[in-house]
Amino acid sequence: MDERAVRDLARGYTEAWCSRDPVRVAAHYRPGGMMAINGGAPAPIEDVARSFIEGFPDIQVFMDDLTFGGEAVEYRWTFTGTSTETGKWVRISGAETWTIGEDGLIAASKGAYDEAEYERQLEQGAPA
């Protein structure tokens, strides 16, 4: 695995989320790329991105860290945005464990974040 290329991929992925364009996010995955969140069923990445972008039209994503372990890469992130559902500002951190394909794109991703804290922030907003 070319760590420099994966770091470039991760920076581009972060920028794609901030562009609020689900197609740009999906371009970092192999065709048909999927993401499973918090143990849920895998879903097409473009659908996942569209859901978050529509739910948080001012979404900003920050890459907190990128670590390499064997065949997997862990991309740690924080996202902020205002919920269209509740009008509350949310700040949540999480991680994605990526499998990188031979083509240098993300072949699969398993994401995780604290769902209870996310739901709390949707109701009450993020702590100051």
pLDDT of residue 18: 97
Strand 106-113 and strand 72-82: the pairing is unpaired
What predicted TM-score, i.e. pTM, was given to this entire model?
0.94
Tokens of 90: 């949310």
d(CA 71, CA 109): 13
Domains in the chain (CATH in brackets) are 3-124 (3.10.450.50)
**What tens-digit pLDDT sequence spans the chain (128 residues)?**
799 999 999 999 999 999 999 999 999 999 989 999 999 999 999 999 999 999 999 999 999 999 999 889 999 999 999 999 999 999 999 999 999 999 999 999 999 999 999 999 999 999 87
What is the dihedral sign for C-alpha 36, 42, 44, 47? negative
